[in-house]
Amino acid sequence: SGTLTQDLESSFTSILEKYGTPRLSSPSVDLLEQMTRGIEEDAFDEQRNLILSAIQNVSDQNGSGANGLQVKPEIIGFNGIMLRHGKPNELSDSSTPSISKDSQATSFNVKGFAKGLLRFPSRDSKEYHFTQLWTPPTAGVYTIVAISEDTSGNRIMSSPVTLTSTYGEDAPTVKMTSPLSGTQRSVELVGRPARGTAYQVVTITNGISRFTGEIGGVELLTRGSGYVAPPEVRFVGAGFGAAAEATIVLDPANPRFGEIEEITITAAGQGYFGQTDVEFIGGLGNEALFLNATAEDSDGEIDGVTFLRNGVEIASDLTEPFALQDIFSVGYYELVALAKDDAGNVVASEPARMNISTIRGAAPSGFMIYPLPQQARNAYNASQSQDYFWDFARNYSSQIQQAETNLTDVSAGNSLDDIIQNSEELAANSFIHLSARATDSDGLVQEVTFYLNNKYLGTAERQHDSHHFVLPVDLSDFGEQPVYRIDTMIRDQAENIRVPNNPVYLNVLPATGSRPDIEIILPDPNATSIPKYSVGGQVSLVVDATPKEGTLEAVSLYANGRFIGEAQLQNDLSYGKQRYALNWTPENSGMYNLSASVRDRLGVVIFTQTPSVVEIAEDDFEIITNIEIVPTQVAASNNAVARGSSLLANVDFLGPEGKPLLMKDVKFYLNGSLIDTQDQSPFSFLFRPPSLQDRFVEAPLSWEIKAVGQSLNDFIGTAISTGTVLGVTELPQLRLSPVEGPSSLPDKYLYDGMNLSLSVLAEGRADALTSINQVVLYGNGVEIMVGIPTFNLSEAGNLQSITYEFDWLVDFDEFSKSDGTVRLVALADLAGDPTGFGSLPVISSNTEEVFVQYEGSQSLGTLFTQVTGETLSTQDIDEILEDMNATSVTSSTYDPVEALITLVNNSDRLSQRVDVTAAYHITLGQWHDSFSAYQNHTSNFIPFDALGTQEWLKDYIDYLLTSADEGYLARFGSVPYLVGDESKKGSQPFADNRMDFVQQCLFNKYSVQPTFQQVFQGSNRMLSFWSQFEPNYWEVRGATGTANVDSPPRRDTNFFGATGFGAGECAVDLIFNLAKEIKYEGGLPYILYTLDQRELYRIVTYYLLYFGENLSEVNANEIEYLGSLGEKKALDVILNDWRWTSQSNQIWKNSPTLSLDYWKSENWFGPFMDKYFPWTFHSSLGWIYVQGNNPMEFWFYSSNLNSWYWTGATIYPYAYSSEKSGWVYFDTNTGMLYDFNEAKWAPY
């Protein structure tokens, strides 16, 4: 409505006059523009009409010509003409029609005309372009245009695109391999939407502000985050017509990546008065996808592959593999790969169509799995294994997808005859389960329904949390039809529906007069608790089936509706009920309904009515866990045992260092049922593999024993062992004798280190008794010993029973749980394969539970055994305590040192060890330099059966005097000739030699020089001893001498009757008597006026034997100090020394070690040093005195706080204070102690 300038008005007027339009006075700009555009359109229409007329003149418009070209021109929009081929069906490869005005006009060849390609619009054609795959039908020049039509019928044509297609080289081939066409994906909004408000355009006139109602810009309150595509901008207010475009930050290196960068107003709109909010729609839903394509060129190479998304190029990949990853926001996409070869040929792949939605998501998928598709039956028959299913599922899914693409079915044949021939046969009175596998990639399957011959059957029941749905169907409810077609429909929570195109057909046979019976025996369908098995373990499925007409053909087993295999007949009975079994190995965790079906030879198929429910657990194997089945002989039969057998399962849980771990609890499962829970090691479980008391004695039954342990740090360890129960035989009975402990302890209580005699009586038929291989006694699963048999015969000489004797050295460390309990049981295996099936019969006795009293380093039995190598029986302990007037009192009321001394006074074994100590000291004048040297001498020279004989000691003395491995020769040289040839007395002063040797030995023994009388008496002792061999020896008073030439050789080595000691009889006997200190002539010492050193030698023997490997060096000064205390006090000092007490360190023996010597660490306790156990240096608590053997609960004394505390592995840093009678908390980080009674902190 504005006013034109004079020049513009003159120009428009001249145009109007040229086309005969009357002059208008003062025309408006709008009117002139409209009139001018109309004139231009008229001009184009005139040109287009001329073209249309020319086309009509040269073509067969009516189609009456036999070979005439019929072209129908159509007006498209403002500037377009579309030519349609009127008779495309008459085209052939040899036809070359042309269009021309005259014979000399340029013509163009056409070939392969096709109908117009129709596509429907998407929601946003700006972002989602119209695309269509088109392949030139032949070589030539092609002009391609696009025609658009709106809902009002208006059409317009695009500018043309011209391309040339030549025969040239062979074109390449290209195929999109992912994503698969038809993929639907559902994504969640990622990130945070932006928020903003609009501000209006304000005009100021004469100082007065006025709102125009137009949008002038956007104020961003938040820029949002996570945008992968620009969102749509919407203005929410009173006005209309405003528009804006948003841009986002696309540089991943920019800290504002994914935020709104800028808002550009593209239309101001009008009427926006008041507050106007700005909303940002979309841009956050996204999915990262991989695009993959394959391309080949038979006569060259591929230059590259370009990926298009809705017709827009994304990127190109020049090298194989041709792939691209890109972010896709919510929307519909057609993805195309363009391959270009080295000859310039370009070929496009078939488009892969994909939808990404935040509304309904992907459609569900699935297929029927029973009745078993023919492909599944073929796969199972080929493998005869339950593993068939997963390969079948993958291949079958691919077939279904391919069939969906082609809009066909995956069927059993192309004709009804083929379908009947390939379908499963069953009688019309069968009772079956229909099963389908259904999944939804972005949600849950809502329901699965089945249809028989297009008739609704019912809604299937999901099998627990699996992907399988089952519907029981009694086919006798339907009329007999030759073929049943069964379909399934799957619906997800978003109301997406999928009808898999894999109908299953059944070839229906006439109904019979009866149905076979079938029932599941194992696992028990009526079990009160659900048995629990392991993934990869073994579930034994046992089914009994009874035919009514004909015979049985097959028994099949199912897990959550999935066919897992055909059971095997387990017996050869010719009538009645038959037994079938199959061992199933579960691949996935979850709850399972186990069912079975039986088919008779008349075609009747019957499923079980009630399933067996089992739980399959995905076991953790975070801890090294070992399980051992005892007796180990069963391994030779693959753990196959006879009915009625009993076995032990021993389990240990190891840490990285191979040491046992502290466990919170260990659960034992037998065939999936929890049988026992233990919280103390050793972890051992006596079990009887289950068998059924029925007539199927030859039918094998599988068993599985599983142990699951949870460590203190909540790591899980699992161990599984499986076996079979097979065959039956007569089993003898074993009876373990009652345990009778010391009378000073309560019933069934034993002292640590004592010896307990036990017996097992085997009874039964003579042939069963003679088949017993061996009887072994176990304590908490640890072997004690093999019994020594005694055969008990009747007066007639018939075998009545066998008694097996056992001597058990009670050892708390080896056999007891931390609370001292030991469960005793005897096991025996039968030899000779009495079942005839190769299974091993194993029998067990009754169990006896005893309690071993833990006394640590002060255990009387351990103290006694340590120095004697002998054991104390119940009678020995009772007698010694009676002698000490301690009858019927606990061990804490008597002095263990006093009791020990009393016991060892009569020990020949200790006396032998003392002999070694004494002989070594007297010979060499020093002590053994280490425990290992001492132990080497005692083990090599003291025979096991040396009681009552002393020859071994003389052999040992001779060894010390003559061996180059010992120190005597280096220190003193060879022993001189002590007796010899009278003619040699000038060169060999025999009497002086004897006196020198006596003086040397006495000094070695007492560390002081002996008197002349003692030396002279010792010489005479040797001379008197030699006169026993040679009464007429020339130095003996009144003797005339024996003519014997020697010295050398040594006379007392080679003389008739001599033992042949290399050092001579005299030297050996002198040291022997000095070491043994045997009394002579009415109790006088061997050498008058010499002191008894036997007590010192006993103390040194204690010192060596108790300290053992902890004795880093033998300290003569320490020995001298101990000797000065006397035997009782010295023994008391030794038994309270860390070198002995630390050997009873049970509580820390399995703790992980650190790099520093004696330093260890527990996760729950921290680092500590236990070298001086029970004194332990803790990194935070300082010196503590630990009392106890179980890390789960123990007392400790704090030297810092001068108080006792009770704690444990699951309690610390909390502890119970004995002094305060309340709980405290140790903060090891701050060194502070919180007292809960006083509610205050204090340093510790």
| Full DSSP string of 674-689 | EEEEE-SSSEEEEE--
- And the tokens for 1034? 């020339």
pLDDT at 833 (0 to 100):
93
pLDDT given at position 360 = 52
Strand duo 532-534 + 612-617: pairing = parallel
Position 955, amino acid: D
C-beta of residue 250 within 8 angstroms of C-beta of residue 183 = no
Q: What is the DSSP string of 499-545?
A: --S--EEEEEEPP-S---EEEEEES-TT-SS--EEETTS-EEEEEEE
- The interaxial angle of helices 860-868 and 896-904, nearest 10 deg, is 40
Token pair, residue 965, equals: 């491995």
pLDDT at position 108: 36
Least confident of 50-59, 342-351, 457-466: 50-59
Tell me the H-state helices in 1108-1233. 1116-1125, 1127-1135, 1138-1141
Computed on alpha carbons and rounded to an integer, the radius of gyration of the chain in Å comes to: 52
Asked if 1174 contacts 1180 with a C-beta cutoff of 8 angstroms, the reply is no
pLDDT of 121 over the 50 cut: no
| Nearest C-alpha neighbor of 857 from the set 1225, 567, 682, 1110 | 1110
Per-residue model confidence (pLDDT) at position 562: 93
Instruction: List the domains of the chain with CATH numbers.
Output: 59-167 (no CATH), 189-281 (no CATH), 286-357 (2.60.40.10), 361-511 (2.60.40.10), 513-615 (2.60.40.650), 619-725 (2.60.40.10), 733-856 (2.60.40.10), 907-1092 (no CATH), 1145-1243 (no CATH)
pLDDT at 282: 76
CA distance 432 to 1170: 69
Cα–Cα distance measured from residue 364 to residue 438, given in angstroms and rounded to the nearest whole number: 7
Closest residue by Cα to residue 291 from 266, 317, 261, 257: 317
3-state DSSP helix/strand/coil % of the chain, to nearest 5: 20, 35, 40
Q: Is the pLDDT of residue 116 over 50?
A: no
H or E element in which residue 298 lies = none
Rounded Cα distance between 757 and 824, Å, is 13
What per-residue confidence (pLDDT) applies to 1014?
A: 96
Which neighbouring-strand residues pair with 850? Answer: 822
What whole-number distance in Å separates Cα of residue 355 and Cα of residue 310?
12
Give the tokens for residue 1099: 């103390």
| pLDDT in the model for residue 731 | 94
Query: What is the per-residue burial (b if ≥16 Cβ within 10 Å, else e) of 1116-1137?
Result: eeebeebbeeebeebbbbbbeb
Following DSSP, what letter does each residue of 206-242 receive, concatenated?
Answer: TTEEEEEEEEEEEEEEE--B--SSPPEEEEESS-EEE
Average pLDDT over residues 120-149: 62
Residue 6 has pLDDT above 90, yes or no: no
Mean pLDDT (the chain) is 85
Amino acid letter, residue 349: S
Q: Which of 157, 126, 153 is nearest to 144 (CA)?
A: 157
pLDDT tens-digit profile of 145-165?
777 777 677 777 777 777 767
Q: What are phi and psi of 403, to 5 degrees?
A: -65, -35
pLDDT at residue 647 in the model: 97
Cα separation of 831 and 771, whole Å? Answer: 5
What does each C-alpha distance from 1214 to 1206, 1217, 1220 come to in angstroms?
Answer: 9, 10, 14
The answer to whether residue 287 scores a pLDDT higher than 70 is: no
pLDDT at site 97: 42
Strand blocks (E) in 310-348: 312-317, 322-329, 331-341, 346-348
The residue ranking higher by pLDDT, 1202 or 944, is: 1202
| Residue 220 contacts residue 196 (beta carbons within 8 Å) | yes
Top-confidence residue, 766 or 179 = 766
Q: Of 847, 723, 679, which is closest to residue 778 (Cα–Cα)?
A: 847
Long-range contact set of residues 215-218: C-beta below 8 Å, sequence gap at least 24? 215/239, 215/242, 215/244, 215/265, 215/268, 215/269, 215/272, 215/276, 216/265, 216/268, 217/263, 217/265, 218/244, 218/263, 218/265, 218/278
> Rounded distance, CA 928 to CA 936, Å?
11
- Pick the closest to residue 339 from 316, 321, 358 (CA basis): 316
**Position 843 pLDDT exceeds 50:** yes
For the segment 211-216, the average pLDDT, to the nearest whole number, is: 90
Percent of the chain surpassing pLDDT 90: 50
Residue 1206 near residue 1195 (C-beta atoms within 8 A): yes
Token output for 98: 């042309």
Q: Tell me which of 434-448, 790-804, 1127-1141 is least confident.
A: 434-448
Binned at pLDDT 50, 70 and 90, residue 361 comes out as low
Predicted local confidence at residue 849, as pLDDT:
96
Does residue 1185 or residue 80 have the better pLDDT?
A: 1185
pLDDT above 70 for 505: yes
C-alpha dist (Å) from residue 254 to 189, 247, 249, 958: 22, 14, 8, 93
| Most confident stretch, 89-98, 129-138, 819-828 | 819-828
pLDDT of residue 285 exceeding 90, the answer is no
The answer to whether the CB of 193 falls within 8 A of the CB of 229 is: no
- Give the other-Cβ count within 10 Å of 947's Cβ: 10
Q: Please answer whether residues 486 and 451 qualify as being in contact, where contact means their C-beta atoms are separated by less than 8 angstroms.
A: yes
Question: At 488, which helix (H) or strand (E)?
Answer: strand 483-492
Residue 78, pLDDT > 60, answer: no
- Using CA atoms, how far apart are residues 62 and 480, in angstroms rounded to an integer? 60
Q: How far is CA 50 from CA 159, 336, 557, 748, in A?
A: 20, 41, 81, 123
- Across the range 912-925, mean pLDDT stands at 97
Question: What is the band of 94 on the pLDDT scale with cuts at 50, 70, 90?
Answer: very low
Q: How far apart are CA 649 and CA 140, in angstroms?
A: 83
* Average pLDDT for 788-811: 95
* Mean pLDDT, residues 1168-1196: 95
Q: Is the pLDDT of residue 253 over 80?
A: no
SS3 of residue 382 by DSSP: helix
What single-letter amino acid sits at 962?
Answer: T
The pLDDT assigned to 169 comes to 67
- The first and second tokens of residue 354, run together, are 């994909």
The yes-or-no verdict on residue 110 having pLDDT over 50 is no
Report the pLDDT averaged over residues 1114-1143. 95
Least confident range from 68-82, 337-351, 790-804: namely 68-82
CA 1013 – CA 1011 distance, rounded (Å): 5
Stretch 979-1000: mean pLDDT, rounded? 94
Residue 887: per-residue pLDDT? 45
Residue with the larger pLDDT of the pair 140 and 1139: 1139
- Taking each helix axis as running N to C, give the angle between helix 1065-1076 and helix 1012-1027, from 0 to 180 degrees, rounded to the nearest 10: 120
Instruction: State pLDDT tens for residues 518-558.
Output: 999 889 999 888 998 888 888 889 999 988 877 888 999 99
On whether the CB atoms of residues 426 and 603 are closer than 8 A, the answer is: yes
> pLDDT at residue 1225 above 90?
yes
What average pLDDT score do residues 317-335 get? 79
Give residue 1071's pLDDT band: very low, low, confident or very high (50, 70, 90): very high
Give the β-pairing of 733-736 and 647-654: unpaired
Q: What is the DSSP string of 847-860?
A: -EEEEEEP-GGG-H
Q: Give me the pLDDT at residue 891, please.
A: 46
> pLDDT at residue 982 above 50?
yes
pLDDT band of 890, cuts 50, 70, 90: very low
Q: What is the largest CA-CA distance in the chain?
A: 185
Q: Band of the pLDDT at 144, cuts 50, 70, 90? A: confident
**Residue 1209 vs residue 144, higher pLDDT:** 1209
